[in-house]
Structure 1
Amino acid sequence: MRATLAGVIVLALAYLVAELVSRVLAALVERINRHVPGDLSQRKSTRAALRLVRFIITLLVAAVLIFPAMSMVGIESRIGLSPEHLATWLTGSGLRIALIALLAWLVVHVTGLVVRRLEGEIGTSATVDVIERAKRARTLGTLIQNTIYVLVSTISLLMILRELNVDITPILTGAGIVGLAVGFGAQSLVKDIISGFFLILEDQIRVGDVANIDGTGGLVERITLRTIILRDETGTVHVIPNGSIQRLSNQTKDFSFYVTSVSVNIREDTDRVTQVLTRVADGMQQDVEFAPFMLGPLEVLGVDRFNDAAVDVKMRLKTVPSKQWVIGREFLRRVKRSFEDEGIELPVAHRTLLVSQAPMVPPDPGPDTPPPS
């Protein structure tokens, strides 16, 4: 009865201390989370981590108090571990192990909070490619969180094993040998992953961009740390390892230009043609269907070239990414109709045909025909 009573009192005290510490940690986490967006899964993981911390603190406090409580009720320990030695270990190595575990959890949790806050700020920015930037932020956030989790967990585990007087030298040696073997056997994989990380980090390309990679062009459907997946206009899917990319041309980075030339008859006034082209572009900017995709007025670059029959006027339109072809096709359709209304002639090819008539040759009379007199 005395032992049971002492155990119940110790467990109650341990639970109270653990509850107090967990409530302080919960208030601290709630204060950090106040301005950081989070989802249901993140809140569940936070509650699970707090329950784990409460359980560990309960065990530690109970282990510290159980032997003094038993001594106070007149029960001596029959195991080889004295209360003094246990208390010394708990206040030394045990406390350091608890602090290591707590700091590791705090580092992982704070990293997750910072990543979510950055994702929230990027996702609410007023840009034309919010979706692509949000995808890039989520990709980088997941990569950073996984990297920090692996590093912190590994370092914490090694420190805890050292506090438990476990020789970690063979572990470090084995890890070095394994890392060396992986480095020699998977050089291309490591190169692909490193290249993919910098592609995403430097925002060189995003999902939804139209890019040309080493002569292969298409729409970017997916980006991973190892590969980029393109789909061209015929529907063919191209899988390109990141480490093999030598030249990447992004045609839809931040904005795009539709560059074209319009040919008119050599006799037409180019200033009048320029006015018609500008009027057509201004009309498209007033159209609610095409105005959101146009980022500026028409830029007429001038006369590009001319020959005996035609003169070419070069121009370009600035559009949002991936919309230059839609705007360009509509612009050319309206230009054709406006030229017809204004009487602007398109170039007509002139061909000169020379027909030569060969002299008539009399037929051969044959051997039986008498010669003419």
Structure 2
Amino acid sequence: MLQGLFEGYPYWVRAMLAGVIVLAMAYLIAELVSRVLVVLVERINRHVPGDLSARKATRAALRVVRVIITLLVGAVLIFPAMSMVGIESHIGLTPAHLASWLTGSGLRIALIALLAWLVIHVIALVVARLEGEVGTATTVDVIERAKRARTLGTLIQNTVYVLVSTISLLMILRELNVDITPILTGAGIVGLAVGFGAQSLVKDIISGFFLILEDQVRVGDVANIDGTGGLVERITLRTIILRDETGTVHVIPNGSIQRLSNQTKDFSYYVTSVSVSIKEDTDRVTRVLGAVADEMLRDPEFAPFMLGPLEVLGVDRFNDAAVDVKMRLKAVPSKQWVVGREFLRRVKRSFEDQGVELPVAHRTLLVAQATPEAPATPPAS
């Protein structure tokens, strides 16, 4: 019946009319589905703290979903629409076949796509909620914890996205009667080749993941990695970047790390020794050192960096000229050197004021006395 209505029109007019009808229907269906998804997402977001990046990602995902639905619906309806306007085609779906397909494979494809989108979105919301909770914590290292949470969150989101998308795509292809056996075989071969060729890369990524997960080192820490020390400037899943005191940048793969020594984890100690004369009373020297540390604890410039009074460990060693008194100061991470250098500067000044004698090297100089020359023997006559 509908074919008779357009029988007198030129071919291009009927084709254009079919395209307009299909685009209009595809747009309406995509808009309807996207509105339903918006309502569903808003209900889920009520239980999650507001996060601008998550909202932007959701809007971008909805736009992608709208475009995909429009294309899919257009591809499905174009041939039945052409048949309705009198353009015969040997390929495509008839209205009867279309109805049968929509109630069978089409419905299953829609459910697969919807479930995949829901899984990806729920994982993104959970990660955003965890990042929000870490970001609102009131700890000293809240910034670094937030960075670690974002790194792990991004890794988890990307992994889930790739896995769910791949599985969903394979299931949809199977519903479209596409033989996925060659795809699976090819993917297995490619995965095997990549596994053999990128063993070190995989090892670096796995080591970096556990390094970040276990919070072994963070950006801003001072660490020594296999004999190379410096400030940690950046941590990725593959490498750690250190900058030493000369400004040299060291890039260390995570998979090659055998020993990592973090010098600024939670707190730090400045350990040093002070040498005094062997004649000095070590108890008096200890009292002078404690008084200098107590003075620094009352100084508003250095008190925030100190986590306790001076701890004198005792006499470390002595010889015929000097006694070494060993001590340590507990300080905020990365501030132990600032505190220690100021402490030693004040110790020298206090020793001068209190008359504490510093060791002086004693040297014994032996001077050999010259032997007088014997008189010359006269020649025999």
Indicate whether 1:289 and 2:336 are aligned: no
Q: Find out whether 1:266 has 2:278 as its counterpart.
A: yes
Partner of 2:99: 87
Equivalence for 2:138: 126
TM-superposed deviation, 1:321: 1.6
Structure 1 residue aligned with 2:220, among 203, 208, 215? 208
Instruction: Mark the CA change 1:272 to 1:28 in structure 2 (over 3 Å): closer, same or farther.
Output: farther
Partner of 1:38: 51
For residue 330 of structure 1, what is the aligned residue in structure 2?
Answer: 342
Distance 2:188 2:129 in 1: 36
TM-score, normalised by the number of residues in structure 2: 0.82
Q: Which segment is superposed worse, 238-247 or 331-340?
A: 238-247
Alignment of 1:89-128 (within 5 A): 89-128=101-140
The yes-or-no answer on 1:187 pairing with 2:234 is no
Q: Which stretch has the larger CA shift, 348-357 or 236-245?
A: 348-357
Q: Distance in 1 between matches of 2:277 and 2:23?
A: 98
Identity of aligned residues (%): 83
Give how far 1:111 is off: 2.0
Contact 2:80 2:94 in 1 (8 A): no
Residues 1-373 of structure 1: matches in 2 within 5 Å?
22-34=34-46, 35-39=48-52, 41-54=53-66, 81-362=93-374, 364=376
Moved more, 300-309 or 13-22: 13-22
Q: Residue type of the partner of 2:199?
A: Q
SS of structure 2 residue aligned to 1:308: coil
Distance 2:276 2:38 in 1: 74
Given that 1:100 and 1:160 are in contact with CA atoms closer than 8 Å, whether structure 2 keeps it comes out as yes
CA separation in 2, counterparts of 1:37 and 1:307? 67
Q: Distance in 1 between matches of 2:128 and 2:169?
A: 26
- What displacement does 1:344 show? 1.6
Tell me the distance in 2 between the aligned counterparts of 1:239 and 1:85: 61
**Using the alignment, how far apart are the partners of 1:123 and 1:8 within structure 2?**
50
Q: Which is worse superposed, 93-102 or 268-277?
A: 268-277
Shift of 1:42: 3.8
Is the alpha carbon distance of 1:165 and 1:181 closer, same or farther for their aligned partners in structure 2, counting shifts above 3 Å? same
Note the C-alpha offset of 1:296.
2.0
Contact 2:270–2:330, Cα closer than 8 Å, also in 1? yes
Quote the Cα distance in structure 2 between the aligned partners of 1:55 and 1:230. 45
Judging changes above 3 Å, is the alpha-carbon distance between structure 1 residues 195 and 64 closer, same or farther for their aligned structure 2 residues?
closer
Q: State the shift of 1:97 in Å.
A: 1.1
Structure 2's unaligned 5+ residue stretches are: 7-18
